[in-house]
Amino acid sequence: MSKVDAKRRCPWCLGSDLYRRYHDEEWGVPVHDDRRLFELLILEGAQAGLSWSTILNKRETYRRAFARFDPRKVARFSARDAKRLLADPGIVRNRLKIASTISNARAFLAVQREFGSFDAYLWAFVDGRPLQNHPKSMKEVPARTILSDALSKDLKRRRFRFVGSTIMYAFMQAVGMVNDHITTCYRRAQLAQPRTASSAKLRGR
């Protein structure tokens, strides 16, 4: 076993190399780039009723299908684009999820106009700093919180769809608004440092 493989990680990521890379490089790293935030918002919504591994495996196809998650371009998608996407086997071919991605892009742009950036809007929910939790096991990690309830409610008011509280808590974990790495995971302490590199710098942009 290599030195890297010997590191202790959150148990949910041990099923595949793809999961481990996502856990090590992205999960819980604060994201402040609007395009990355839009991508993860859409992917978390696409996951509803499915496994996260399914979405990770389709991620590159999603990027190609949805204009590299440029919200301005997605907001201009037409009925013809929606029909094209329904025929794309590389994404989740769910009519409601595809339609919501387009309408969410338009809602996303409205938030940017109001707040200057989606980043500014989103991170205000945690006063600009990640919440540092200390779960000893995954059983102590909640599926939703009062904060995710509030975020979900406000996004729905702004006409976002597929943004239920459970989906939003997963999103908050993904973009680093909360650090839910378990206490024995090597990434927990790293992400608890005052300064953490934005995942916008990670590969895949």
So which residues are the catalytic ones?
A: 22, 44, 52
- Give the CA distances from residue 121 to residues 48, 91, 125, 144, in Å, rounded to whole numbers and listed in that order: 24, 28, 8, 20
Separation between Cα atoms, residue 8 and residue 187, nearest integer Å: 9
Separation between Cα atoms, residue 127 and residue 104, nearest integer Å: 24
Separation between Cα atoms, residue 97 and residue 157, nearest integer Å: 18
The answer to whether 44 and 174 are in contact (CB under 8 A) is yes
The conformation of residue 172, written as its DSSP 8-state character, comes to H
Which residues, listed in sequence order, are joined to residue 179 by a DSSP beta bridge? 132
